[in-house]
Structure 1
Amino acid sequence: MPGPSPTPVASDPTLPSRVDVVVIGGGIIGTSTALELAERGHSVLLAEKGEIGAEQSSRNWGWVRLSLRDPREIPLMIEAIRLWEGLEERTGRKLGYTKCGILFAAAGERSRAGYEDWARHLEPHQIACRVVDGDAFDDLLPGHRIKTSGALYTPVDGRAEPQWAAPAIAEAARESGAHVMTNCAVRSLDVEAGRVTGVFTEKGGVACDSVVLAGGAWSRLFAGNAGIELPQLKVMNTVLRTAPVEGGPETSAWTDDFAIRKRADGGYTIATGEGNVVDIVPDSFRLMRQFLPALRAEWSALQFRLSDRWWTEARMKRRWRHDEVTPFEETRILDPDPHERLRNRSWAAAQKAFPALKGAQVEQSWAGMIDVTPDAVPVISAVDEVPGFYIATGFSGHGFGIGPGAGKLMADLVTGASPVVDPHALRLSRFSDGTPITLMEGF
């Protein structure tokens, strides 16, 4: 079964010969960066190897979530929520954005205590966040049958439609002057005297002063060809959507067994709460040392497997010239098969928790590849070794909600504007300058 279908975005007919900035990747991070730059008066090429938003940006849960963010992400996510609130008016298009609140159900007293500890991170920002139980929990999820010792509730959290968002932002960027090219892979950087002077695409060269790599799960491969070490692996999550359902929850919720949010069409998006799939690939061994802390912390939530993905990536070129066909052209859209057992398990758990879902029609299921870093915090950074080159990737399953904020921060870095938040914790060099790799404590 193919993945979800984002709103189609037509390609511009011709490639520009020169722009100020080339943005590689048409997901929500790349489109948000392009919109920010174009609105500031910079000429931009947004180049996507496939279709706008066709990979993880349309395959995620659709959560706009501040709750349980790593503290290093909180300031940027607060800015992202502020941007989401005005994004429909800004783009002139529907995004399905709604403040609905999100509940994280505690599996026991230990996780409840962890939620209470995390909520203190929002106190300096004066944002409401609390642990609820009993009648308060029941009022937020009428008719539920979830067994929990309490749940973290953040009312400012929301939801939006992944199939609408990146395309809407891309079209708004074009209306602000950006060039938008689909089915146009950027093959490599053009570097002279050590700094970026342009890019080579499959349709020809483009001169520019800066390049932003927002390639999601493909970013490590592109960076590696440019001689830049970017520690990043892929994790697969499986999602399904239902037909419209009467009487289901308005508030989004997460449990160990499933995650659920209402869709704009009245149906529900349901995914595995835990149980992400990790395909063992050659990079698993190359990056084992850096990812070891994450593996120890998240071992119980990951399902490792040896699949045909090993051979796909083992055969994939890791170096190429600008006049050669690249892996980005050989796989326009990364469309993995959903994990049937995990999908069925999450669907069964959701129906048990919400009787209103029983008998609902499952319309579609899909999987998506999440780009993860060793500390599960994104890279939004200049690349020190190559002036003019910037990277925004590794959002570790948190990219959809934070996308507009990430785009604003990246535009600040590219243009030299005062950054909307301190980007130090998001720098690429933290993986090579001796900084200890630390993860947010689990719950």
Structure 2
Amino acid sequence: MPGPYVDPFHGDADLPGKVDVVIIGGGIIGASTALELAERGVSVALCEKGGIGHEQSSRNWGWVRISRRDPREVALMAEALRIWSGLDERIGRPTGYTRAGIIFTCTDDKSYEEHERWGQNLEPYQIEHRMLSGNELNDLLPGSRMKVKGALYTPTDGRAEPQKAAPAIAEAARDKGAYVLTECAVRGIELAAGAVCGVVTERGSIACSQVVLAGGAWSNLFSGRFGIDLPQLKVMNTVLRTKPLEGGPDQAIWAEDFAIRKRRDGGYTVASGHENIVDIVPASFRYARDFLPSLRSEWRSLSFRLGGRFLDEARLSRNWEMDEASPFEYNRVLDPKPSSRISDGAFKALRKSFPVFEKAEIAQKWAGYIDVTPDAVPVISPVDAIPGFHIATGFSGHGFGIGPAAGRLMADIVTGRPPLVDPHHFRFSRFSDGSKIELISGF
């Protein structure tokens, strides 16, 4: 079954000879960075090996949330909420964004206390949130049969349409003067005196002084070709969508066995609330020590498997020449086969909790690869070893909602403006400067 239908985007026909900045990757992070730079009068070319938003940017749940974020991301996500609220008007196109609230259920006293304690992270930002009892939750969600201790409810959280957002933002960037090139893989960067001076694409070279790598799950492979060791692995998440359904909840809901989000067409996006698949690949052994703390705390939510993906990645060239086809040209879109076991289990649990979904029809299933770092916090940072080279990746399943603010922060770093928020937690050097790499469990 093919991936989700993404709003069509037609890339530019002509390759520019020279720009200030080249962005590698046409997901929501790359598109948002391009828009921010173009609005500032910076000449920019966005190069995407496939189509705009065709990988995880269109395959995620569509949540725009600050609730239950890693505390290190909260300040940036607070800015993202502000950007999303005016984004459609700013770009002149719909992203499907609406504030409908997000609910995280708590099964027992311990979970309730953890969520209540987490809410303290929002107090400096005056963002409305509150804890609900089980009875209050059932009052908020008529027809619910969930039997839980309570929930964390954040009314200011929202949702948007992943199949619309990245293409809409990329179109707006082009309106402001950016080149947006699809089916145009970047094979590598060119250096002069050790600093960036251009890129080589499959369609020719582009001179530039700065590059932003926003390549999602491909970022480790690309950066490794140039001696940059970015610790990154992939996690596969499976999603289904239903046909339009009346009478379902308007709020997005996370529960132990399912997570749902109402779609613009009246259907719902449904996924497991806790289970993902990790394919064992050669990089799994290379980064085993880096990810060990994460595995210790999150292993219950991960299903490990050894299959064809191991051989697929083992065959990938890691040292291709610039005048030959790169791995990015042989696989334009990562489109893994979804897990029916996981999606069907989530749908069954949903129907048990909300009988209205007994009438729901499944329209489609898909899967996508989430790019994760050892601490589940993104890299939004320059790379000191190569002046002019920057990385914006590793969003660990949280990239869609935070994307517009991540693009603004990356643009601040590239242009030397005062940063939107303190970028310290997102620095690339944390993986090599002796910092403690810590996963904050449960977020």
Fold in common (TM above 0.5): yes
Amino acid corresponding to residue 259 of structure 2 in structure 1: A
C-alpha displacement of 1:11: 1.1
Distance 1:405 1:178 in 2: 19
Check the 8 A contact 2:217/2:233 in 1, yes or no. Answer: yes
The one-letter amino acid of 1:46's match is L
Whether 2:260 is the aligned partner of 1:260: answer yes
1:182 aligned residue? 182
Aligned to 2:432: 432
Corresponding residue number in structure 2 for 1:272: 272
Counterpart of 2:397 in structure 1 is 397
| 1:233 alignment partner in structure 2 | 233
**Aligned counterpart, 1:13:** 13
Query: The residue matched to 1:85 in structure 2 has which SS?
Result: helix
- How far is the alpha carbon of 1:306 from its aligned partner? 0.5
Aligned with 2:359: secondary structure? coil
Distance 2:77 2:142 in 1: 29
Map 1:146-185 to 2 at 5 A: 146-185=146-185
Residues 319-372 of structure 1: CA deviation (Å, up to 9, x unaligned): 111111111000000000001100110011111111111131100000000000
In the alignment, the residues of structure 2 paired with residue 140 and residue 46 of structure 1 have an alpha-carbon distance, to the nearest angstrom, of 44
Q: Give the Cα separation in 2 of the matches to 1:359 and 1:291.
A: 42
- Opposite residue 35 of structure 2, the aligned amino acid is L
Deviation, 1:129, is: 1.6
Take 1:366 and 1:262, find their aligned partners in 2: how far apart are those partners? Answer: 17
CA deviations on 1:254-304 (whole Å, 9 max, x unpaired) are 011010010000000001111100000000000000000000010101000
TM-score by structure 1 length?
Answer: 0.99
* Distance apart, 1:422 and its partner CA: 0.3
Secondary structure at 1:199's aligned position in 2?
Answer: strand
Distance in 2 (CA, whole Å) between partners of 1:367 and 1:79 is 29
* AA aligned opposite 1:245: L
Secondary structure in 1 matching 2:239: strand
Question: What's the TM-score, normalizing by structure 2?
Answer: 0.99
> Partner of 1:78 in structure 2?
78
Once the two structures are TM-superposed, the CA of residue 133 in structure 1 deviates from its matched residue by: 1.4
Task: Kindly state the Cα deviation for residue 168 of structure 1 after the two structures are TM-superposed.
Answer: 0.1
Separation (CA, whole Å) in 2 of partners of 1:357 and 1:91: 35
Query: Aligned partners of 1:256 and 1:312: how far apart in 2?
Result: 33
**1:287 is aligned to 2:287:** yes
Match of 1:362 in 2: 362
Equivalenced residue count is 443
How far off is 1:153 after superposition? Answer: 0.8
Gap runs ≥5 in structure 1: none
Name structure 2 gaps, 5 residues minimum: none
Displacement over 2 Å in runs of 4+: none
CA deviations over 1:185-205 (Å, ceiling 9, x no partner): 000000111100000000000
Measure the CA separation in 2 of the matches of 1:85 and 1:44: 25
Amino acid at match of 1:165: A
3-state DSSP of counterpart to 2:410: helix
> Does structure 2 retain, via aligned residues, the 8 Å contact 1:234–1:278?
yes
Distance 1:306 1:142 in 2: 43
Match of 1:145 in 2: 145
Who is 1:101 aligned against?
101
Match of 1:239, as an amino acid?
Answer: V
Give 3-state SS (helix, strand or coil) of 2:385's partner. coil
2: CA distance between counterparts of 1:177 and 1:99? 30
Percent identity, aligned pairs only, is 63
Other-structure match for 1:64? 64
Distance 1:283 1:147 in 2: 41
- Tell me how far apart the structure 1 counterparts of residues 110 and 259 of structure 2 sit (CA, whole Å): 20
Deviation at 1:141, TM superposition (A): 1.6
Residue type of the partner of 1:75? Answer: A
Aligned to 1:88, what secondary structure does the other structure show?
helix
> Take 1:303 and 1:20, find their aligned partners in 2: how far apart are those partners?
43
Structure-to-structure mapping, 1:214-363, within 5 angstroms:
214-363=214-363
1:382 aligns with 2:387: no
Using the TM superposition, give the Cα deviation of residue 441 of structure 1 relative to its aligned residue in structure 2, in angstroms.
3.0
1:421 corresponds to which residue?
421
Matched residues in 1 for 2:150 and 2:103: separation?
9
- Give distance in 2, aligned partners of 1:140 and 1:19: 52
Aligned to 2:212: 212
State the SS of the aligned residue for 1:72: helix
Q: Specify the alignment match of 1:192 in structure 2.
A: 192
SS in 2 for 1:119: helix
Rounded to whole Å, the distance in 2 between the matches of 1:217 and 1:353 is 34
Q: Give the AA of the match of 1:320.
A: W
Report deviation, 1:139.
2.8
The SS at the match of 1:86 is helix
Amino acid at match of 1:105: T
Q: Which amino acid aligns with 2:392?
A: A
RMSD: 0.8
Aligned equivalent of 1:55: 55
Shift of 1:134: 3.2
Matched residue of 1:103: which SS? strand
